[in-house]
Amino acid sequence: MSNNTIHELIIIGAGPGGLTAGLYASRARLDTVLVEKGVAGGQVLATDWIDNYPGFPEGISGFDLAEKMAAQAQRFGLKIANGTVTGMDLSADVKTVSFDDGQSLRGRAVIIATGARPNHLHVPGEEELTGRGVSYCATCDGPFYRDMDIAVVGGGDTALQEAVYLTKFAKTVTVIHRRKEFRAAPVIQEEAKANKQVRFLLEAEVVGIEGKKEVEALRIRYQDGKEETRSFQGVFILIGITPNSEMLPLMHLKHEQGFIVTDCLMKTNLPGVMAVGDIRHGSVRQVVTAAGDGAVAGKSVEQYLDSLHHKK
**Which residues are designated catalytic?**
137, 140-141
Which residues fall within 8 angstroms of residue 81, CB to CB, at 6 or more apart?
1, 33, 34, 35, 36, 105
**What are the backbone angles phi and psi of residue 139, rounded to the nearest 5°?**
-65, -40
Conformational region of residue 55, where left means phi above 0, alpha means psi within -120 to 50, and beta covers everything else: left
Outline where 31-155 has alpha helix (H).
62-75, 138-141
The span from the CA of 70 to the CA of 291, in Å, is: 12
Q: How far is CA 288 from the centre of its chain?
A: 12
72 burial type by CB count under 10 A (0-12 exposed, 13-18 middle, 19+ buried): middle
DSSP 47: -
What value does the CA radius of gyration of the chain take, rounded to a whole number of Å?
21
| Selection from 183, 185, 162, 186 nearest residue 174 by Cα | 162
Distance CA 18, CA 54 (A): 18
Instruction: Phi first, then psi: give them for residue 303, nearest 5 degrees.
Output: -65, -40
Minimal CA–CA distance to 51: which of 133, 145, 141, 136? 141
Taking CA atoms, 248 is separated from 23, 85, 96, 168, in Å, by 23, 9, 12, 39
- What CA dihedral angle connects 201, 204, 206 and 212, to 10 degrees? -50
